[in-house]
Amino acid sequence: MSQLLFSIAVFLAAHVVPSYQPLRQQLVDRMGERSFMSAYGVVSLVLFIWVIASYLNAPYVELWLMQTWMRHTVLLVMFFVCLLWVCAFSQPNPFSLGKGGKGYDPARPGIVALTRHPALVGLAGWSFSHILPNGDLASLLFFGTMGALSLYGPRSMVQKRQRQLGYERWQSLMDQTKRGWPQIGLMRWIATVLLYIGLVIAHEPVIGVAPIYWP
């Protein structure tokens, strides 16, 4: 368990420390924005793989028994997680992770009408819902960490986008954005269903656990 705790601590530090603006700006000034983001992405991926490997090798310490309703809850939540991720990376969004703000129309904001951070909200849904059926200490640490990071993400993204857009432009887009139920579009619903089915099918061969048990 100590390796998992250490890998998680390093992973969190690698995400929180660079978000400190004076340090981040120094690194960007020295490396350039593109080089910094490339290096940051590679380091994050390597550390994430390390965390997963540590999680898979951690000893099993049971905290609670899985109930049928827990598995059903994950299946339900994951459909909407898939919807959030499909929209996050297919609709313009100047406020957070995703496709970017090019072509963004505040009158037709898509998923941004519901949440400015669909990718991070989806990550939170994935993380916290997976705690339920995985009633062991290692799973609580792993998924809890991912969930905590997804909650920290919006604050960091707001600061970053405000600097990039300028506060007045950012606030203007915020004020103009139409709120309410988002216009998703048929193709995104279809993509969501396909992604969801793909994840369900791939879960057992990749993760080793079947999300659906057929009698």
Q: What does the pLDDT look like over 149-202, one tens digit per residue?
A: 888 888 878 877 888 788 888 888 888 888 888 888 899 999 999 999 999 998
Question: Taking Cα atoms as reference points, which of 90, 45, 60 lies closest to residue 182?
Answer: 90
pLDDT in tens, 24-54: 677 667 777 677 677 777 888 898 899 988 9
Handedness of CA 146, 211, 97, 39 (dihedral sign): positive
State how far the Cα of 154 lies from the Cα of 41, in Å rounded to an integer: 18
- pLDDT value at residue 34: 73
Angle between helices 118-131 and 68-88 (to 10 degrees): 170
